[in-house]
Amino acid sequence: MNFVEHLDAHVDTDLDTIAAPGDAPVTFANQADLKIARERNKLDRRLMREMGRAVTDFNMIEEGDKVMVCLSGGKDSYGMLDLLLKLRQRAPINFEIIAVNLDQKQPGFPEHVLPEYLTRIGVPFHIETQDTYSIVTRVIEPGKTTCSLCSRLRRGILYRVAGELGATKIALGHHRDDILATFFLNLFYGGTMKGMPAKLVSDDGRHTVIRPLAYAKEEDLIAYSNWKQFPIIPCNLCGSQENLKRQEVGKLIDEWEAKFPGRVENIFNAMSRVAPSHLMDRDLFDFVNLRPTGTPDPEGDMAFDQVDPVNPNEPEKAGAADDCGSTPADGPQPIRFTRLVSR
């Protein structure tokens, strides 16, 4: 049984489950409160299922793992920790959790917040203090983006700490929208089709990094944070920087979500449905030695055609995409490029 099946088998449908363990059952004074409770219950179940699916799809957590949860003090890492704790209670395997925060000595950073919170909820933790703030502000010119250098410094420190703590997995709180934004940043500004993987091995080959929130939407994590009232710590170094490319891409994604419902979800799903034979990367597909074999090739020109590869002469199913990538509909049909070539 995988994580998703296990969660489904133990799903709670009673609104009393909104109460914390040991608390009295929740009662509702009016219909408005009941509606809010139902929405929160659905939110909790949705996020839990998405995390369970991500963990299962990418084999993120295994029996006996020690998961180092990187806690920044932002909504995403708080949500990730909270959901992982629930997942551990219901999971078909045993694994440990230890929360780690990197205190980068940013001015005004409330050092007491995370230790008090983690002590209260009973989670083992480690606070690593390293003055990367001074390094970043010394090296980066005023007005320039600090994210890249800050990220590299932070990553190196976290890898070291993971080794010292004996952690087998490093959990980061990036969500679906972060993954999409990274994909478009690399596409628009780097000229590469490269995203943010749900699971990877560090460059030195020593650590496994996982992103359990890979399927979760940011709007759901915002709602979850507002519900749980996590003690959020703002990032004074980079969180308030304006005109960042990531913010521009984020705005573009938000506009698509508002104007074209379903487009963003389709793009995200497409990242899991790649057809190398229909791209142009010679390292991913051997175009040089590509020759006709006389038999249908599932990786060939039929990659997106809705036809039976065993009976290629059968007509396409209703609704299949034409050569222009459009779906037949009432009214004038688009000109096929094959017709233009044949003339």
Query: What are 179's strand-pairing partners?
Result: none
Distance CA 102, CA 100 (A): 7
Write out the DSSP string of 27-51: --SSHHHHHHHHHHHHHHHHHHHHH
- Contact between 83 and 48 under an 8 Å Cβ cutoff? The reply is yes
235 is in an annotated binding site: no
CA-angle at 206, arms to 204 and 209, nearest 5°: 100
CA angle (90, 207, 100) in 5-degree steps:
60
Write down the H helix ranges in the chain.
3-9, 31-57, 75-90, 113-121, 132-139, 147-165, 176-185, 218-228, 245-259, 263-270, 337-342
Residue 209: its H or E element: strand 208-210
Known binding-site positions for [4Fe-4S] cluster: 147, 150, 238
Known binding-site positions: 147, 150, 238
